[in-house]
Structure 1
Amino acid sequence: MVRKLDLRSGRPVWIAYRAPPVPTGKLTRDIKAEVLVVGMGISGAMMADALARAGHGVVCIDRRGPLLGSTSATTALVQFELDQPLIKLAAIKGKIDAVRAWRRSRLAVVNLRGRIAELGITCNLARLPSLYLAGNLLAPAQLRDESDARRQAGIAATYLTRKALSDSFGIDRAAAILSHDNIALDPRKLTAGLLLSAVGRKARLYAPVEADEIRSDRDEVVVKTGGGPTITARHLVLATGYELTDIIPATAHSIVSTWAIATARQPKDIWPGAALLWEASEPYLYIRTTADDRVICGGEDEDFTDEEHRDALIAEKSKRLAAKLGRLLPKLDTRPEFSWTGSFGTTTSGLPYIGALPRHPRIHAVMGYGGNGITFSQIASEMVSSAIDGLEDVDTDLFAFPAHG
C-alpha cells in the first residue's frame, strides 16, 4: 500500500544533538481510534498534537519509529516565504489565491512559534531575518517587483540594493529582499516535543507498525497492519511525508532529491544577524546557522528518485555546496563536518495538496511539501483538525486535492 523510499542517507547534522526519547508501544491486537495518524515525523507530530489538543482520541503508527524518516534530512529553515515567488505564483494561481497562500503561510509560522512557546518545547528556536538574494530566477528589477507585490499584500518586505546588502550583511549580490520573523529550529527536538505533548493528552503511539491495506466507507476507515492487527478509526490522516500510499492521487506531484552540508562551529565568522539566506535561483541555495554556530547549506536539487544514484552523489554535491557557500561567504570555513541527502515532494505550483481525498471523505492527506515542508505541515495540522471537527477552514479550496484525482 505504501511506496517505500529510503528517505535520507549520509550524516545529518541533527544527529549531533540529542532529542528527548519518545516512548512507543507494540501493537498486539485489533484496536479502535477516533483518529489514526500514519507517520511520526514532523508532520505526523503536528497532526497528533493538534488533534489531541482538540480533544480527539489519537493513535499514531510509523513503520520505522518516531523521528526516523525524513525529519532528520530537513535543514529546518521555517519560512513563510514560499518557494514560488508571489509574482510567479500569481501568474499560476491568480493574484487573489497567490496572496491568500502567502498570507496563510505567514500565519502558520506565527502559529507554530506560538505553539512551541505554549508547550515550552526546547528546540533551539531562533527568530531570524531572511535575505532572498537575486539570482537566475529573479533579477534585481524583478526582485523589486516581488518586494512591491508582498507589501501590497500586507507582507513586510524591504528591497536592498547591492550597497545596502553589502553594508548591512557583508554579502556581495546585486540585490536582495529582507524579511523578518522567519524561524530556525532543531526539527528532531520539535518533533519529539510535539509527540510527547500528544502522549500527555492520551495519544497512543505504536511502532514499528506498517499500514499494509486501507479500506474506507462512509462511516469508518479500517487499516490492516503488517503484523496482522487492524486499526478501525473514524478518520485517517496520512502524514507519511514523501512515502505516499497508492490511495493518494499521483497527479501534479514529483519526488526531488536534495543535498546538504553542515560545517564545524565557527562563531567568529557568522555574518551579521545570522540571517537565513536563500536564492532566487534554480536550483537554489539555502543557508542558515545552528544555535551553536555551525553553518548549514543545502540545495543542488535534482528531479529524480533513484536512491542509489542520489546517495552516490553525496561527495560530489557536498563539494559543490561548499564551493558555492565559499563564493557567497568567503570568510567561512566551508569544509563539511556533516553531509547528507534526502528526498522531498513538490507540486507544479509549489503549493501542497491538503485535505480529504477525492471519494474518501474520511481519509485526509498532505501531498507536496517543497522547501516549506514544516510550514505546510503546520497549515495541514490546522486545516485537518478543523475538518475533523466539522469546521470549514477558509483556505480549504486553496489546497484541496483535484476533484478528478
Structure 2
Amino acid sequence: MTRKLDLRTGRPVWYAYRAPTVATGRLVRDIKADVAIVGMGISGAMVAEALTDAGMSVVCIDRRGPLLGSTSATTALVQYEIDQPLSKLAQRIGKDRAERAWRRSRLAVMNLKARIDELGIRCNVETRQSLYLAGDTLDADSLRIEAAARRLAGIHATYLPKAELRERFGIARDGAILSHGNLALDPRKLTAGLLLTARQRKARFYAPAEATGIATSRDEVTVTTGDGPTITASHAVLATGYELVAGFQAGTDHQIISTWAIATRPQKRALWPGAAFIWEASDPYLYLRATSDGRVICGGEDEEFTDEARRDALIAEKSDRIAAKLKRLLPQLDTTPEFAWTGSFGTTATGLPYIGTLPRQPRIHAVMGYGGNGITYSRIAAEIVSAALCGNEDTDAGLFGFRR
C-alpha cells in the first residue's frame, strides 16, 4: 500500500538515550475499532493520544514497530517557524492565509508543550530561542522585512544586526532574527510517552503488521494486512510518515528529500548562549541544536532523494562537510561526530503539509509533506483529525487540506 523506503541509515543520536518500551502484539484475527491508525511514529502517536482522549477505540499497526521509522532520524528542532519564510509564503498563498499558517504553527508548539506537561511525559523538553541567520535566501535587509512581517502577524520577532549578533551570540553573520518559544526534546521518548498514554486508554498496538490495502464503503473502512487479518473501523488514519500511500499522492507537490546529520560529544561549557536553535536562511540550510546533556546536533546538506544506496554512501562525505560548516560557524566547538546518520523526509513547495481526508475518500485521513517542521505538523494533524472525527470542523483545516 505504501512505497517502501529505508527511511534512515547510520546511528541517530537518540539511541544514546533509553526510551520506554512500547509493547505490541501479533494481529492473528479480524478485529474492529472506531479508528485504525497506520503508523506508530510521532504522527501516529499524537493522533492515537488525541483520539483515545476523545473516548474513541483505537487500533494502531506498523510494518516495522513503534519508533522504528523516521521518528528516530529527526533532529527534533520543534519550531513554529515554517521553512518557507512568512514574507515569501505570503507571495505564494496570500498574506491572510500565510499569517494564519504561521499563527497556527505557533499555537501547535504551545499546545504540544502544554500537553507534554499535562500528561507528565519525560522527554527532556526545554523551551529554546531560535536564531535565523542571514543567508542566500534572505539577506540582512530581507530579514528585517521578514521580522516586521512576523510582528504584524502577531508573532514576536527581533531583528539582530551584525554587531549585536556577534556581541550576544558570538556568531559572525550579517544579521539574524531572534525568536522565542520553540521546543527541544527527545523524539523517541515523546513518541513512546504518547503511545503508552493511549494504551492506558485501551488502544491496541500490533506490529509487525503491514497494511496492504484499504477498502471503503458508506459506513466503514476495512484495512487488510499482509498476514491476512483485517481491521474494520469507522475511519482510518494514514500516519505513514514519508512513505507515501500509493495512488493517493496525485495532485500534490510532495517531494522526498535526503538529509544528513551528526552529533558531537557532550560539551556544555562550549555551547553558545542559551543553546538557541540556529538555522540559516539558505537553500540548503544548516540547522543545529544542543541536547540537554550538551551534545550538538547539526544537520543539512539536503538534496533531492534518488535512492537509498546513493544517500547512504554519502554519509561519511556529508558528515565531514557538516562538521566543517559547524566549525566555521562556532569555532569553539569540538565538531568531531560521535553519531552520524541520514534520512529522507517529505516536503512541499510551500513548506505546508497536506492534512485531511483524501479526495473522494471521506473516511480516510492522511498527513503528507512535513518539511522541516515534522513534529509541529504532527501536532496540527492530531488536532485537525481529532476535530473531524468528533464531528467538528477545525477552522484552519482548509489551509492544509488536499483541496486547497
TM-score in terms of structure 1 length = 0.99
Q: CA deviation at 1:305?
A: 3.4
Aligned to 1:11: 11
Q: How does 1:42-121 map to 2 (within 5 A)?
A: 42-121=42-121
2:311 aligns to what? 310
The alpha-carbon deviation at position 396 of structure 1 amounts to 1.2
| C-alpha distance in structure 2 between counterparts of 1:218 and 1:84, whole Å | 39
TM-aligned CA deviation for residue 135 of structure 1: 0.2
Deviations 1:344-370 (A, max 9, x none): 001111100100000000000001000
Distance 1:59 1:247 in 2: 23
2:272 matched to which residue of 1? 271
Measure, in 2, the Cα distance between the counterparts of 1:13 and 1:121.
Answer: 20
Give SS of 2:178's match.
strand
Is contact 1:326-1:334 (8 Å) kept? yes
Partner of 2:338, secondary structure, is: strand
Instruction: For 1:108 and 1:377, locate their aligned partners in 2 and report how far apart those are by CA, in whole Å.
Output: 9
Q: How do 1:226-237 and structure 2 match up within 5 A?
A: 226-237=226-237
What's the counterpart of residue 354 of structure 1?
355
Query: Residue by residue, what CA displacement relative to the aligned partner does 1:119-159 show, whole Å, maximum 9, x if unpaired?
Result: 10010111011000000000000000000000000000000
1:298 aligns with 299
Matched, 1:211 2:230: no
Amino acid corresponding to residue 185 of structure 1 in structure 2: L
Asked whether the 8 Å contact 1:217–1:360 carries over to 2, the reply is no
Gaps of 5+ in 1: none
Alignment-mate amino acid for residue 217 of structure 2? D
CA distance in 2, matches of 1:317, 1:218: 50
* Cα distance, 1:209 vs structure 2: 0.3
List per-residue Cα deviations over 1:30-84 (Å, max 9, x = no partner).
Answer: 0011000000000100010001001110000000000000101000000000000
Moved more, 299-308 or 361-370: 299-308
Give per-residue Cα distances to partners, 1:309-365, cap 9 Å, x unaligned: 000000000000000000000000001000000000011111001000000000000
Corresponding residue of 2:221: 221
Who is 1:397 aligned against? 398
Whether contact under 8 Å (1:49, 1:194) holds in the other structure is yes
Q: Secondary structure at the match of 1:336?
A: coil
AA aligned to 1:93 is: I
Identity of aligned residues (%): 70
Count the aligned residue pairs.
Answer: 403
Q: Match of 1:151?
A: 151
Structure 1: which amino acid aligns with 2:143? L
C-alpha distance in 2 between matches for 1:224 and 1:181? 42
- The answer to whether the 8 A contact 1:39-1:239 is kept is yes
Q: Give the aligned residue type for 2:88.
A: K
CA contact (8 A) 1:41 1:71 kept: yes
What letter matches 1:278 in structure 2? W
Deviation at 1:247, TM superposition (A): 3.8
How far the C-alpha of 1:218 sits from its partner, in A, is 1.7
Cα distance in structure 2, aligned partners of 1:142 and 1:95: 17
1:275-301 superposed Cα distances (whole Å, 9 cap, x missing partner): 100000000010000010000000110
- Give the structure 2 partner of residue 345 of structure 1: 346
Query: For residue 229 of structure 2, what is the amino acid of its counterpart?
Result: P
Cα separation, 2, equivalents of 1:362 and 1:67: 26
CA contact (8 A) 1:121 1:190 kept: yes
Aligned-pair CA distance for 1:249: 2.1
What is the distance in 2 between the residues matched to 1:158 and 1:348?
27
Between the aligned partners of 2:56 and 2:306, the Cα distance in structure 1 is 36
**TM, length-normalised to structure 2:** 0.99
Confirm or deny: 8 A CA contact 1:77 1:276 kept in the other structure. Answer: yes
SS of aligned partner of 2:109: helix
CA deviation vs aligned residue, 1:214-267 (integer Å, no higher than 9, x gap): 111221111110011011110000000011111422331110000000001111
Residue in 1 aligned with 2:371? 370
Name the structure 2 match of 1:122: 122
* Residue aligning to 2:285: 284
How far did 1:402 drift?
Answer: 2.7
1:127-206 alignment, distance < 5 Å: 127-206=127-206
1:326 aligns with 2:319: no
* Kept after mapping to 2: 8 A contact 1:40/1:65: yes
- Which residue in 1 is equivalent to 2:40? 40
2: distance between equivalents of 1:264 and 1:131?
Answer: 22
Contact 1:254 1:345 in 2 (8 A): yes
Instruction: Kindly indicate whether the alpha-carbon contact (under 8 Å) linking 1:261 and 1:318 is maintained by their aligned counterparts in 2.
Output: yes
Cα contact 1:218–1:361 (8 A) shared by 2: no
